[in-house]
Structure 1
Amino acid sequence: MLLGFRTANVRSLREEQELSFVVPEGEESDTARTVELSDGRQLRVYPLLGIFGANASGKSNVIFALKKMREAVLSSYAQWTSYQGIPRDVFALDPKAEEESAFYEADFVLDDGVRWTYGFELGSTRVESEWLHAYPKGRRQEWLDRDASREKVFNFPNDRIQDRALLARTTRPDALFLSRAANDNHPQLTRIYRWFQQNLWDVTPETEIAQREAFTAGKLLDEQSRERIEELLRVADLGITGAEVERRPGKAPVVRLLHAGESGESVSLDWEHESFGTRSWFALIGPLLLALDTGAVLLIDELDASLHPRFAAEVVRLFQAPWANTRGAQLVFTSHDPSLLSSPRGGRQLEPGQIWLTEKDKQGATEVYPLSDVGPGAEEDLTDSYLAGAFGGVPRMAAGQIGRKLLTARAQGAERA
């Protein structure tokens, strides 16, 4: 389970920014799950976080940074040899940023209850630093301390890692130690590597839709999965009563959704005749169920981009509901839609600690902060206050401002002509 993530010098995230799933101390929560740690302590952890903000405020860059950390862990040893230098996306509006390292750190708990912190800093041509800490008894154990600026780059306090000398000797300066160890199926470190392999899955509703449609269609061939997929299609109120699926060896299955007809009988439509919204929802169901079934951390950028607000709200409910999310799956999503802050019947769909806002400063750098830091009132309507700009995270624009700017530009253009 992911507890927190920190990053710096990644796209618009210039200074260090933090995203935390842990319920702030003293804050009540009806949605948080209790995580039992190996030292006997308990943590209250949210099942999902939503990131809201104006266009170009850096929302997607938080998802991007999480995804890039995963890619680095999985790819640095085998694939980075084909690059001229280390692939990075540093802050572009300050020339000094290219000379500085990109920073990533994840805080997570494995199935045995042991808490781990793993992170690294990437320079343009080498891994500047890398560290791994464990907390089996509540106190920090240092497993790995790598610093490229030292004469002895690798340090292994208390010699906990097996085969450490061989791994250090055969880890390239531009590759992560963790990636190198996992390549040899290291008995201790491979489980850390696999956490990244099995989490931080990135989904953007408007892209890779064909592959996700095929994945969901394949899940329809399994009777247990089929029942849940059809139920999710029906609950979205699309007028869908079921689905037909035709197996094709070596190819993606053919799907036809069944719609309620005027005579009461179900009518099947060719896939090409389904609306984009229906297809987007169908394509998202497969990855959603996979994450819920495996307890993975799912990343969805622009949740509302191609989904009706009702569909987006249904995604939130799936991760919030203990009866649907039985394995501790987590979700990080970005959205423009303030309706996700409140439930249709009144009240709050997301708690203040689950709502994260992004704003850019005058230098173009993004700040990420939770709504719980702003301290909204207990009875305050979060949607109304957010739209009014009380929390930040919305465009600084007066009504009609765009139209006035266009008229001014047109008049200036006419004068020059």
Structure 2
Amino acid sequence: MLIQFHFKNFKSFRDDTILDFSATESQDNEYRVVKVADERILTAAGIFGPNASGKSNVIKAFRYMTDYVTSSIIYSRDEARGIKRLTPFLFDNKSKDAESLFEVYFSSSTAKGYTIYNYGFTINPNGVVEEWLNYRNKSSKNFKTLFYRGKNEVDLSGIPEKRRENIKISLEKETLILSLGSFLKINKFKTVINWFLQNRITNFANPRENEGLSHQAPIGFADSKEIQNKVVNYLAAFDNSIVGFDVEVLKLDDDGQRTINIKTKHKNLDGGTVLLPLSQESDGTLKMFALYQFIQDCMDRGSVLLVDELNSRLHPLLVRNILLTFLNPDVNTNHAQIIFTSHDAWQLENNILRTDEMWFTNKDQNGISRLYSLAEFEANDDEKNYAENYLLGQYGAIPSLKPLMQMGDTKNG
């Protein structure tokens, strides 16, 4: 489970920024707080705020870290300089030339219990500046260092001796020790890499990504009636008009990948069925179809789902239903987690999220974003009008509005 995500100097976030899944002392919905070793962990974090306040950049920071961790082993090649994608805070001269930081704390279950990992790195346009990997077992309060890489030193004393020389010989300035060590099959390194690989990130605010995902079928969907029926039951949570699917395999490419044509089956008034191309379904249905595999993967693996603009094209009650899937420990038995951004203030008011599960982003007059939790504000438990208070500006993170230009006042010269 993700315990904490920490980043700095990335896009609109200039300063240290922490998204913390550690539960506060609040007893609100205590039954769904997950106890891991000596940690009390939450399964949801909703990020609210105005347009251009930095909500999406929190998701993008996590995506950048994930992409770099899983791909840095190829970044030393001239044709794959992924490091160039890094965008620091650009609106002051000091930050635009400084390194950016990315760090996570997360738990991983083993046969002996839980292990807590702390992994992070700093990076600038020239390469990796600093990198570290620490861990502690359930029975230990102190972290042990697996490796540390600084500007002038590389300490590999925590890894098998026979691997140290291979890493020293192969390490490039753009390459992470973690990525290289996983390639060399060092078990704890592989555990960290696999944790990143199992998480799912999607951006429904991006039309291209949204369009592409909506036409990707779940794994095994073409061949398995069982999986197709699972998707039907899943969609029935909001639309029971779809009673089945008709799947046609059109062709195989040179890599054995198949192109399939999917049609949805609907009942007609005469008791028969009508087939419709999947593409003709509503935007909400296409979005839920795309989310199915992501939600299923995270539920099965106990991983993290990150969704930008979760409320886009979805009814608030359906968003609530998705959140309840993650928040209900009887359903979410593997402790999957969700991080989502939203403009929908109703999600603050429907008595579903704890105050430490509600987060806000705000951007000041200098263009600097800040992330903070509702738990930082004192609240009267008898007056939990979070949505109303939010819209009244008591928590910040609302747009500063000015009148739109009056089109009718425009005069021809």
TM-score of the pair, normalised by structure 2: 0.88
Cα separation, partners in 2 of 1:316 and 1:26, compared to 1, 3 Å: closer
Flag the 1:146–1:395 CA change in 2: closer, same or farther, 3 A. same
2:211 aligned partner, one-letter code: I
Name whichever of 25-34 and 296-305 sits farther off.
25-34
Q: What is aligned with 1:67?
A: 63
Distance 2:214 2:76 in 1: 27
Quote the residue 1:116 is aligned against.
117
Distance in 2, Cα, partners of 1:85 & 1:202: 18
Report the counterpart of residue 255 of structure 2 in structure 1: none
- Compare 161-170 and 272-281 and name the one that shifted more: 161-170
Percent sequence identity is 26
Of stretches 358-367 and 229-238 in structure 1, the one that deviates more from structure 2 is: 229-238
On the 8 A contact 2:35/2:41 being kept in 1, the answer is: yes
Preserved CA contact (<8 Å) 1:181 1:189: yes
The reply on whether 1:186 has 2:183 as its aligned counterpart is no
Does the alignment pair 1:32 with 2:11?
Answer: no
Is 1:246 aligned to 2:264, yes or no? no
Aligned residue number for residue 53 of structure 1 = 49
2:44–2:357 CA contact under 8 A, matched in 1:
yes
What is the aligned partner in structure 1 of residue 171 from structure 2? 171
Pair 312,26 (structure 1): closer, same or farther in 2 beyond 3 Å = closer
Match of 1:391 among 383, 395, 400: 395
What is the rounded CA distance, in whole Å, between the counterparts of 1:59 and 1:140 in structure 2? 32
Take 1:253 and 1:217, find their aligned partners in 2: how far apart are those partners? 12
Distance of 1:249 and 1:63 partners within structure 2: 36
Any gaps of 5 or more consecutive residues in structure 1? Answer: none
CA contact (8 A) 1:218 1:252 kept: no
Q: How does 1:316-355 map to 2 (within 5 A)?
A: 316-343=323-350, 348-355=351-358
Give the whole-Å Cα distance in 1 for the aligned partners of 2:330 and 2:231.
16
- Residue 160 of structure 1 and its aligned partner are, at CA, apart by 6.4
SS of the equivalent of 1:114 reads: strand
Contact 1:259–1:266 (Cα < 8 Å) also in 2: yes
Deviations 1:57-77 (A, max 9, x none): 000000000000111111112
Tell me the residue number matched to 1:133.
134
For residues 154 and 97 of structure 1, the distance between their equivalents in structure 2, rounded to whole angstroms, comes to: 26
2:128–2:174 Cα contact (<8 Å) kept: yes
Q: Deviations over 1:135-173 (max 9, x none)?
A: 12121212212111x2xx202456667622431332112
- Is there any run of 5+ residues in structure 2 with no aligned partner, and where? 253-257
Aligned-partner residue type, residue 147 of structure 2 = L
- Higher mean alpha-carbon deviation, 18-27 vs 233-242, is at 233-242
Residue 70 and residue 192 in structure 1: after superposition, are their counterparts in 2 closer, same or farther (change >3 A)? same
DSSP 3-state at the match of 1:67:
helix
1:363: which partner in 2? 366
- C-alpha root-mean-square deviation of aligned residues, in Å? 2.4
C-alpha separation in 2, matches of 1:353 and 1:321: 17
**Map 1:190-205 → 2, pairs under 5 A:** 190-199=190-199, 201-205=200-204
Is contact 1:214–1:253 with CA below 8 Å preserved after alignment?
A: no
Is 2:109 the counterpart of 1:105? no
Check 1:164–1:324 CA distance in 2 against 1; reply closer, same or farther (3 A cut): same
Q: Which moved more, 1:49-58 or 1:22-31?
A: 22-31
> 1:315-372 deviations in whole A, cap 9, x for unaligned?
21221122332211111111111122233xxxx1211111110001121111000111
Aligned partners of 1:6 and 1:17 also within 8 Å: yes
Tell me the secondary structure at the aligned position of residue 91 of structure 1. Answer: coil
CA offsets 1:353-396 (integer angstroms, 9 cap, x no match): 11110001121111000111113332312222222222121112
Preserved CA contact (<8 Å) 2:179 2:189: no
1:291 aligns with 2:289: no
Q: Distance in 2 between matches of 1:80 and 1:158?
A: 25
Query: 2:82 and 2:92 mapped to 1: Cα distance?
Result: 20
Q: State the alpha-carbon separation in 2 of the partners of residues 159 and 288 from structure 1.
A: 35
Question: Secondary structure, in 3 states, of the residue corresponding to 1:63?
Answer: helix
* 1:93 partnered with 2:97: no
| 1:154 is aligned to 2:154 | yes
Give the Cα separation in 1 of the matches to 2:56 and 2:221.
Answer: 29
Equivalent residues of 2:247, 2:262 under 8 A apart? yes
Q: Against the structure 1 CA distance between its residues 33 and 85, is the aligned structure 2 distance closer, same or farther, given a 3 Å change threshold? A: closer
Aligned residues: 397
- In structure 1, the partner of 2:216 is 214
Amino acid at match of 2:34: T
Are the structure 2 counterparts of residues 388 and 263 from structure 1 closer, same or farther at C-alpha, using a change threshold of 3 Å?
A: farther
* Residue 376 to residue 161, structure 1, CA distance change in 2 (3 Å): farther
Structure-2 residue corresponding to 1:228 = 230
Query: For residues 220 and 389 of structure 1, what CA distance do their matches in structure 2 show?
Result: 49
CA distance in 2, matches of 1:84, 1:217: 31
The TM-score, its normalising length taken from structure 1, stands at 0.87
Q: Aligned partners of 1:301 and 1:165: how far apart in 2? A: 42
For residues 53-111 of structure 1, give each alpha carbon's deviation from its aligned partner in whole angstroms, at most 9, with x where no partner exists. Answer: 00000000000000001111111121343356832111121222222000000000111
Counterpart check, 1:381 vs 2:377: no
Q: Give 1:197 deviation, angstroms.
A: 1.8
Give runs of aligned pairs for residues 7-18 of structure 1, distance below 5 A: 7-18=7-18
